[in-house]
Amino acid sequence: MRNPTAFLKEEYDDLVSKSLDWKIQHLNGPSTPHCIVNGKEVIMMTSNNYLNLANNSKVKRAAIAATKKWGAGAGAVPGISGNLRIQKEFEERLAKFKGVEAAVAFPTGFAVNSGLIPQLIGKGDLVISDELNHGSIIDGVRLSKAERAIYKHNDMADLERVLNEAENNQPVPRRILIITDGVFSMDGDIAPLPEIAKLAEEHGAMVYVDDCHGEGVLGEGRGIVHHFGLQGKVHVEGGCMGKGFGIIGGSCAGSQDLINFAYNKSRTWLLSTSPTPATFGAAIAAIDIMEKEPKHNKKLWRLTKYFKKRVDKLGFNTGNSQTPIIPIIVGEPVKAKTLSDELFKEGVWGFPIVFPMVAREKSRIRLQINAGLSTADLDFALDKLEKIGKNLEII
């Protein structure tokens, strides 16, 4: 007789045998630059908390104050009775911060992509996606009924080729959507957004950028669109408060028409309970800090340049990183996991990234800089990287 759940263990065991399984670590306290993981103190270098706002006293106080005033939860999906005034306040502040007409909050960044992409495009349309786009974009595209094309990573000649081929097809697509990460989360490089916007304008295509790893980092915290001065040229800005903002939640920013459309079409917004009041209180405080205290962003970039220069000098392969995401690309999954394990023993937490997150032969540990770290912390990490890298014959 068929065993309906045998595949669960079989497939997991297969992952373990290939060193492709995820081993979940547990923090014994907050996600701080120096944190306790399974009872061991380590330097945190595997967090998206770029500005260290998850631990900022103003952000924490704002979350507590919002909970006291508005309660622990919104009570319903936003379209029914869960759209509290504090949520609207956040959305208005975010739109102003990004320099666009309007914004809307989602439960997560993943929910933005999985809920909005399938509504923007459908049968008779074409979506064109960078080959290294995030899994949430891939899932959102798969949920649509549009035709799909992929262009080589950040290759504008290949994007132009795809667009030209689409224009020569019969019938021509009803709509074309070009979608890209802003900052690519596994490699730390930046999308050539001005060139994408130019090609899109020539072909009458929409541009959708997932800026989850750009918020708080690029454009003085406002993200990649502000970084390149492309307001009005990029039609959809997807965002995530779980990274530079230090909280949780997703967002979509753009024209008022876009937000009205999302209100009425996106099921991940319509059918999900609103994020907590604490989330919005903290997010508003995070915007205040990014606007009034640029020192956090400036320190993040100073530390990033310091660390990147020295890790490159040691001979590690950091790919095309241009941001606080700095991959140490080592090749095989086993070697990436061994590097991570040995670093952890020495007091540095750098998480291994293996297939299917990246190609098997491009396994790595991903190190991420946090404004709460010090130069001494980075020197400590560099010393351990050099020692272990030589022992493992990576450098």
Contacts of residue 209, Cβ cutoff 8 Å, sequence gap at least 6: 179, 180, 181, 182, 191, 193, 224, 225, 234, 236, 237, 238
Q: Residue 19: pLDDT above 80?
A: no
- In CATH terms, the fold of domain 16-45+294-391 is Aspartate Aminotransferase, domain 1 (3.90.1150)
pLDDT of residue 79: 86
| Amino acid letter for position 79 | G
Give the start-to-end residue ranges of the domains of the chain. 16-45+294-391, 57-292
Give the C-alpha separation, 212 to 135, whole Å.
Answer: 13
Question: Mean pLDDT, to the nearest integer, of 15-23?
Answer: 82
Q: What is the pLDDT of residues 330-351, one digit of tens each?
A: 998 889 999 999 999 999 999 8
Q: What is the pLDDT of residue 169?
A: 85
The answer to which of 18-32, 152-166, 222-236 has the lowest mean pLDDT is 18-32
- CA distances, 209 to each of 57, 213, 215, 267 (Å): 31, 11, 12, 20
CA-CA distance, 376 to 315, in Å (whole number)? 21
Query: How many C-beta atoms lie closer than 10 Å to residue 41's C-beta?
Result: 12
Using one digit for the tens of pLDDT, what is the confidence trace for 222-237?
A: 999 999 999 999 999 9
Task: For domain 57-292, give the fold.
Answer: Aspartate Aminotransferase; domain 2 (3.40.640)
Tokens of 154: 């950040």
pLDDT bucket at 311, cuts 50 / 70 / 90: very high
* Beta carbons within 10 angstroms of residue 276's beta carbon: 24
Kindly list the catalytic residues: 185, 213, 243
Nearest to 285 by CA among 86, 111, 99: 86
Sign of the Cα pseudo-torsion (140, 262, 213, 32, in order): negative
Q: What's the token pair of residue 71?
A: 């309660």
Q: What is the rounded CA–CA span in Å between residue 153 and residue 191? A: 9
For residue 22, is pLDDT > 80?
no
pLDDT value of residue 104: 97
Distance of alpha carbon 148 from alpha carbon 126, whole angstroms:
6
φ/ψ (deg, to 5) at 126: -130, 130
pLDDT tens for 187-225 read 999 999 999 999 999 999 999 999 999 999 999 999 999
pLDDT of the residue at 37: 92
User: Exposed, middle or buried, 324 (CB in 10 Å: 0-12/13-18/19+)?
Assistant: buried
Contact of 251 with 238, CB cutoff 8 Å: yes
Of these ranges, 70-84, 301-315, 332-346, the one predicted with the greatest mean pLDDT is: 301-315
Give the pLDDT confidence score for residue 117 in this predicted structure.
97
